Every structure is written in structure tokens, then in C-alpha cells.
Amino acid sequence: MELSSLIPELQLSRSAIGFMVSTILAGGAVASPQSVDPVAEGDDEAATILDGEVPQTTSAPRVFGVTEAPEIDGVLEEIWKDGTLLADTWRQVDPDEGALPTQRTEVRLMRDSRNLYVGVRCFDDQPSKIVSRVMIRGGPINRDDNIMMVLDPKRDLRTGYIFRINPNGTRADARLVNGRSDYNWDGQWYGRSAIDAEGWTAEFVVPFRTISIDADNLDWGINFERDIRRNNETIRWQAADRDVRVTSVADAGVVEMFGDIDQGSGIDVRPYGKITAQEDDGTDVSGTGGVDVFWKITPGLTFVGTVNPDFAETEVDQRVINFSRFSIRFPEKRDFFLEDAGYFDFGGIRSTPLPFYSRRIGLSPQGEPETILGGIKLTGSIEDVSVGILDTQMDDDVSPAGRNYFAGRALFNVFEQSSIGVIATNGNPLGPESNSLLGTDFNFVTTDLAGGRTLSGNAWFQQTFTGGEEDSDATAMGARISYPNDILNWRLGWARIGSDYFPALGFVQRTGIHELFGGGRYRWRPDSSLVRTIDLGVGGFMVTNLDLEIESMDLEFDVPKIQFDRGDEIYLEYGIQQEVPTQDFLVANQLLVPAGNYTWSRIEAGFETTSKEPVEIGGSAAWSGYYGGSRTTVSGNLRWQPAPSLLIAGAAQWNDIRLDTGRLETWLVSSRVNFYFTPEISWENLIQYDTQSGTVGVNSRLRWAFRDGQEIFVVFNQNVEADDLDFTIDTTELVAKIGWTFSF
């Protein structure tokens, strides 16, 4: 069911009687006194069951299909009293693990054949102190009071969904793919919130067509977490353990879902139209359009097809000045490639060597857009196998015959939470030769160590083929193990990257190396009303060539990092670094560094104030040696949000580098002025300047989202040459784009 028809359906007649409530929670927790099972009481008319026979005993709360639905307006109406009330098992995760919360929380569940409804009462004895400033869809609402639901509809202990809402009704979501959170997922759901004399309330609805479901599975994993921001307090319904993340669906509670599930035909069509006006030497007005088609082939498998995709509404990249001798990996921001990107994660690798880096498609190495004729994507799961397939066709402006780029990924579930996978890519956007890659990985996770602690590990292997041939040393391999727990947290890893390894659709900083990396952190939680945690840690890496001769070494000590009870943080770091460039290179494309062997030390101090106040300030200062000379870095940031409707932020970084070959001073400055009229209407403005390009960039985006998938964008881009305060307009672009979703 599309959300455009959701609101009328939510306002159905309330003449029918409510439905069953919960009895006993998973793990043997007893339901609250308000939760009475009408069937157990012998009242057959108290529940309206859509289909199926109700069992007489269960080990989890039961949610039955009903013919009524609440009105989603943020106010908990009388009908919610008939919902399944989850037992009051809430406990603190922070600051006092296992203690009773300072504020009470009630969650009720309802459902019909097409939707899951969630009603939350967040009691608060000081409603005037509720923190609620963020008002942009997908924004950082963890800064505010908020409630999060984690859902595992397939109960496979690996995948799931995150739905989060704050007292403004601002929503954020994510998809869990093999234990990792993909916050780029943008699901279609709806929610509203309201603050009242008892605290605040939230109602939201998740259409079943939005999520992947196993129709034969009645047991759904579910958990809830609430942040009470003024106390920096986190409470959780199940698994209130600092060593267990709320996103660990293996540790979630269980509810039983009874009744039919109707996901509709599963077909969404999203056409768009765009008008662009550009002014350089003259004014050029053009128009274009395209379409995306979404088809949920099965409840767990989604197909996406796109024709003439456009990314004009995408925010520009944050500017970066490169002070190293290696290339920088910019994050992907385009919706088509971001959606379900987690299905292509490989081997736990975060940066390099990535076998697949989607920014290689449709963007030149300089970041300039290239025309994509069309593409298809298939993501999801087939029983115990997760799959991701992406294929795109480029226009002739990329090469005379166009180019095709392919990436395929499969993960097979093994053990309770682990997986074995394969990956393949084909295509070369970086040169005329053909290029392909094959890889395999093993990903191990367990949250069943003594005390509920977590252990994870990865092992992986990659092989590239360029020009249709297997090069002599075109392999990469590695392994990692980590113990990511609260008091003691450590990690250790190794990688070897062959000299001929070339992932044309991936990303690698340097080849022909061994890398050893790791670190550890001990956290002390003193019995103090002032200090919450003190971290002492060490981390670093060492890179050698294949003959085990050092190329880079970096060792860093946190001495210490302190978080105060109100949320402020301060830190002091000391580091030792060695770099052995074998060729001359330019720092920031300007200052020459001769080849040689350099070792220096570094000290850095910084602070960040709490996010619960309207004004946040952060800053740092670092002093170090640098390739035989010295480097001083000072940075600061300011975030001021006096009201949910206005955000003013700024950041600046100054570098002063002094070498035998000269001196380099750089500035990197950015500023934001954002207006949020409602959670659906926003006007965001970003201004950036850096001394290396000598240009000021302005990016202004007006977004009006009627509903998820139905929105209008107006985007203004301006580049201005800035030479000693002499400003000259370079290029101007104005884009108006409308996209609309039709569901069938």
C-alpha cells in the first residue's frame, strides 16, 4: 500500500472491538498487569482475528491482525488501549547499567494485513526540559530525546530495520545487513509525535511492503531504545547491556505476528522531471526526465530499474585538502547507489582495498558527472542467501561504444550469526583495458561470550584480472579480529596487497604492501557525578613493502579521553609517525617534499561540548614535526540551533606547514544556514571556501517532501573565484526537480 493512500486507511471506522494483548515476554519476563489475554480469559469477542487459529500458550507477546487502525497524528487515542502492551522490562544502559529508568516508557503494538502500528508513551516529569531540536528527515536525532525500534521480521539474527522518531515527529531509519547498519536506506513509513503534560508520545506505522518478510515466520525480533537527552540516559526494553548494541537483532526480544500479510503487488514507479538553467558565457536552459521502477519480486527480494538517472539534488561533497601522498576516498551520496549499499560490503573493509566503490560509476576521477543511460539493481535475500547485483550502462560520451559496469555479491549464512560470501566486478572506468575482480570472505560474529560480550572477525581474498589476463601478483588478502566491548575494546588485523592488484571498480590507496594494524582501549567508569568515562588507549598501523621495508608507521596514544556526565568531552593524544616516500611529492599540490625517511612526534588536544544544549562548540589544536619540518593545525566548529526551525553552523581549519623547501598556509572554511519549516519542508544552504582551489562554493537546496517518495527539489549552485577578496562569478546553476511515486 502506498503512503499516499495510507492516511485515509488509517482513519477507518473504529466500530470494531480491539484485539488481544500480550502475556509473557521472551526470556520469561512477566507482562504488565494491564496486559490481559482475552482468549485466555475466555472472551472470544474481545479480539478480531483476520485469520489463523490462536494458540493457547506462547512464550512471547502476541500481535493479532485487526480490522481497525489508529489515526497517526502523534496523539494516543482510546483505541491504543486495545493494543499489545509490552511488559515494563526497561532498564538503563547508560549511565547506570541495569538500573531502573528515571522515566517510564510504554509501547503498544497493533497491526492489520498491511501495516504494523507502534504507539509509544514516553513519560517525563519535566516536559519543559525535553530536548527536541532536529527537524530534518534522516537528521541526527540522536542529539534529541528519541525512541528507536529495531525490527527483525525474518528472525534470521542478521538483518533488520531501524525506525527512529523524536518529539518533533522527525524520522530517521536504517537497514541492518549482516549485522551492519546502513543509514543510507530510505524506507517508506510514516510517523507523528506530540509533547503534552505527561511527557511526549509518538505514533508510527511501517507498511509491510516496505520491509522484507518471511511469510511463514510468526516470530519477529524486536527491541526498543529510548534516549532521555537532558540526563544523557539511554534505556532499553531488552538486552540492556553496554556490551550489546541495540542493533544486535540476535539479542532482541520476540513478538509473535498472527494474521495475513498483504504487501500488495510490490511495484512502485517513480518518474521525475528536471529543468536546469546554467549560466557561464551565456544562459542555457534544458530539460530532462527519467524513471525508477521498484518491484518487490518476493517479500525478501527487491528489483530496481532506472532509466536516465539524475542526481541533481545530491548535496555537494565536503571539501578536503589532501596533505598526504595518497588519494582520498569521498563518500557516496547518490540515492540509487546508496539504497541497499550494505549488500555490497565485503570482508569488514571500511576504506581500502575496497573491491567495489560505487563512485567509480557515473563520476570521473575528478568528480565530474558522466551520463548513465540506465541501470538495474537486485538486492535482498533468498532463504539463507543475501544477494546484491548492480549493472549500469554508460552513454557514448564516456567511450565510443559506451561502457558497462557490473558488481555482484552473495552471502551465505553459516553458524548462528556468521556468513561466507563471494563478490565479482567487471568494467574499467579508469582506462581502456578490460578489468574484473573476484573475491571471497568469511565474516564471523558471536554475541554469546561470557557476560554477553561480542567477538567478531573477518578473512578475505581478492584477485583482479586486467586485459583479460591474470597478473603475476594481482591478489589482496587480509584478516581481522576484534573484541568491541565496553570496558575492554581491542582489534588486530593484517593485509597483503600485491603490486599488480588493480580493482578498477574499487578503491585502493597503495599496492605492493603488507599492513599490520590494531589497537586497544580500556574504559574506566569512576563513581563520580562529574565524570562518566575515562578512556586510555593505543592504536596504529605499520605499512611495509613486500620486502618488509617500512613505508609508513603511525602509533597513537589516548592519554586520556574523558566524557563528562553532562556530555562534554575532552581528549589528549600523543603520536609517533614515520613516513618513507620513495618519490618526491607535493603537499596539497603545492609544497615539495623530497623522497626520504622521516620520523616525527605529534601532540593534539581537543574538546567537544554536549549536544543537549542549543549551542555546541568544538575545537582542537595539534603540533607536530612534518617531513623534516613542522606543522601546526588549529580547527574549530560551532553549531547553534536556537529553535527547531533554524540551524547555524560553521567550521574552520588552519594549517601552517614549514619545510626546508618552503612554507604553506591553508584555510578550509564552511558554513551552514538551514531552515526547517516542518519535518517535510527544509531549505539547506552550504558555503565552502579553501585556499587551494581559491573558490567559494554555494549549494542551496529547497526540499518539499509531501510523503516519502513524493518530493520537489529546487537546487542552486554557484562557484565564485576568490583572489585576494576579488570575487568573480564562475558558474551558476539552477535546478528544479520533481519526483513522484505511484504504487500498484
The pLDDT tens digits for 179-195 are: 788 888 888 899 999 99
**Quick check: is 122 in a domain?**
yes
pLDDT band of residue 158 (cuts 50, 70, 90) is confident
Asked whether 132 and 167 are in contact (CB, 8 A), the reply is yes
**Pairing relationship of beta strands 62-64 and 267-279 according to DSSP bridges:** unpaired
Reply yes or no on whether the pLDDT at 45 is more than 60. no
**Rg of the chain over all Cα atoms, to the nearest angstrom:** 27
615-625 average pLDDT score: 97
Q: What is the pLDDT of residue 315?
A: 84
Residue bearing cell 527536541: 132
156, 407, 184, 541: CA torsion to nearest 10: 90
Q: What is the mean pLDDT of the chain?
A: 86
216 and 342 inside one domain: no
Average pLDDT over residues 292-318: 89
Mean pLDDT over 98-103 rounds to 96
82 plus 172 within the same structural domain: yes
**How far apart are the C-alpha atoms of 119 and 121, rounded to whole Å?**
7
Helix/strand/coil for 7: helix
DSSP 625: E
Picking from 430, 439, 447, the residue whose alpha carbon sits closest to that of residue 495 is 439
* Minimum mean pLDDT range among 110-114, 286-290, 480-484, 727-731: 727-731
- Same domain, yes or no, for 14 and 124? yes
* For range 273-286, the mean pLDDT: 84
- Mean pLDDT, to the nearest integer, of 692-717? 90
How many domains does the chain fold into? 2
- Per residue in 345-393, pLDDT tens? 999 998 899 999 999 998 876 667 888 999 999 998 888 899 999 999 9
Q: Measured between alpha carbons, how far is residue 679 from residues 409, 676, 682 in Å?
A: 36, 7, 7
Residue 220 has pLDDT above 90, yes or no: yes
pLDDT for the residue numbered 398: 56
- pLDDT value of position 59: 63
Specify whether the backbone of 652 is left (phi greater than 0), alpha (psi in -120 to 50) or beta. Answer: beta
Say if 42 falls within a structural domain.
yes
- Write the CB contacts of 107 (distance below 8 Å, at least 6 apart in sequence): 85, 86, 118, 119, 120, 121, 224, 237
- Tell me how far apart the 2 most distant CA atoms of the chain are, in Å: 89
pLDDT at 708: 78
- C-alpha–C-alpha distance, residues 560 and 430, integer Å: 44
In this structure, the answer to whether residues 342 and 447 fall within a common structural domain is yes
C-alpha to C-alpha distance for 683 and 702, rounded to whole angstroms:
4
pLDDT at site 62: 83
Better pLDDT: 51 or 256: 256
* pLDDT tens digits, 531-541: 999 999 999 99
In this structure, the answer to whether residues 220 and 104 fall within a common structural domain is: yes
- b/e burial code for range 138-162 (CB count within 10 A of at least 16 → b): bbebebbbbbbbbbbbbbbbbbbbb
Among 483, 511, 539, residue at a domain's last position: 511
On the question of pLDDT at 137 being above 80, the answer is yes
Grade residue 258 by pLDDT with cuts at 50, 70 and 90.
confident
Spell out the SS3 assignment of 78-110.
HHHHHCEECCCCCEEEECCCCCCCCCCEEEEEE
User: Of the spans 113-117, 124-128, 261-265, which averages the highest pLDDT?
Assistant: 124-128
Residues 128 and 214 in one domain: yes
pLDDT band at 471 (very low <50, low <70, confident <90, very high): low
**CATH code where residue 70 lies:** 2.60.40.1190
End-to-end CA distance of the chain: give it in Å, rounded: 8
pLDDT at 620 over 50: yes
Residue 729: other Cβ atoms inside 10 A: 12
User: Which is more confidently placed, 417 or 667?
Assistant: 667
Ranking 39-53, 79-93, 335-349 by mean pLDDT, the lowest is 39-53
Residue 19: the pLDDT is 30
Does residue 596 sit within a domain? no
More confident residue, 223 or 61: 223
Does the structure show a pLDDT above 80 at 420? yes
Would you call 321 helix, strand, or coil by DSSP? Answer: coil
Residue 52's pLDDT is what? 34
pLDDT bin (cut points 50, 70, 90) of residue 431 is confident
Whole-number Å distance between alpha carbons of 543 and 126: 54
Listed residue (563, 480, 548) closest to 517, CA to CA:
480
Residue 526 has pLDDT above 60, yes or no: yes
Q: Please give the pLDDT value at position 469.
A: 67
Given this model, what pLDDT does residue 18 score?
Answer: 33
Q: Whats the size of the chain, residue-wise?
A: 744
pLDDT value, residue 432: 84
Q: Are residues 118 and 233 in the same domain?
A: yes
Tell me whether residue 556 is in a domain.
no
Q: Find the domain containing 381 and state its range.
A: 326-511
455-464, 478-487, 719-728: segment of lowest average pLDDT: 719-728
Is residue 578's pLDDT more than 60? yes
Average pLDDT over every residue of 469-479: 86
Does some domain include residue 719? no
- In this predicted structure, the answer to whether residue 563 has a pLDDT above a threshold of 50 is yes
Instruction: Let me know whether 237 and 348 are in one domain.
Output: no
- Residue 499's Cβ-count burial label (10 Å; 0-12, 13-18, 19+) is middle
- Could you please report the per-residue DSSP string of 206-266? EEGGGS---TT--EEEEEEEEEEGGGTEEEESS---TTS-TT-GGG-EEEEEES-----S-
**Stretch (H or E) spanning 335:** helix 335-338
Average pLDDT over residues 692-715: 90
pLDDT of residue 47: 32
Is residue 633 within 8 Å of 654, Cβ to Cβ?
A: yes
- Does 529 reside within a domain? no
Give the pLDDT score at 709.
79
pLDDT band at 2 (very low <50, low <70, confident <90, very high): very low
- Residue 3: the pLDDT is 38
Confidence class for position 397, pLDDT limits 50, 70, 90: low
Same domain (yes/no): 248, 343: no
Interacting residues of 50 by C-beta distance below 8 A, sequence separation 6+:
64, 65, 66, 67, 112, 113, 259, 260
Cα of 204 vs its chain's centroid, Å:
21
pLDDT for the residue numbered 706: 82
For residue 386, list its beta bridge partners.
Answer: 381, 411
Which among 511, 532, 567 is the end of a domain? Answer: 511
Pair 243, 355 in one domain: no
Query: What pLDDT score was predicted for residue 441?
Result: 97
How far is residue 391 from each of residues 31, 313, 427, measured CA to CA in Å?
A: 50, 23, 10
Within-domain flag for 539: no
* Statement: residue 584 has pLDDT above 80: yes
Verify that 30 and 161 share a domain, yes or no: yes
Q: Are 251 and 343 in a shared domain?
A: no
Residue-level pLDDT at 481: 97
493 vs 510: CA distance, rounded Å: 17
Q: Which of 19-23, 58-62, 66-70, 102-106 has the lowest mean pLDDT?
A: 19-23
**What does the alpha-carbon distance between residue 11 and residue 83 come to, in Å, rounded to a whole number?**
16
Q: Which residue has the cell 555490497?
A: 344
Q: What is the DSSP letter of 645?
A: T
Is the pLDDT at 570 greater than 90? The verdict is yes
Secondary structure (3-state) at 10: helix
Boundary (domain end) residue, out of 218, 237, 258: 258
Whether 567 is in a domain gets the answer no
What's residue 4's pLDDT?
A: 37
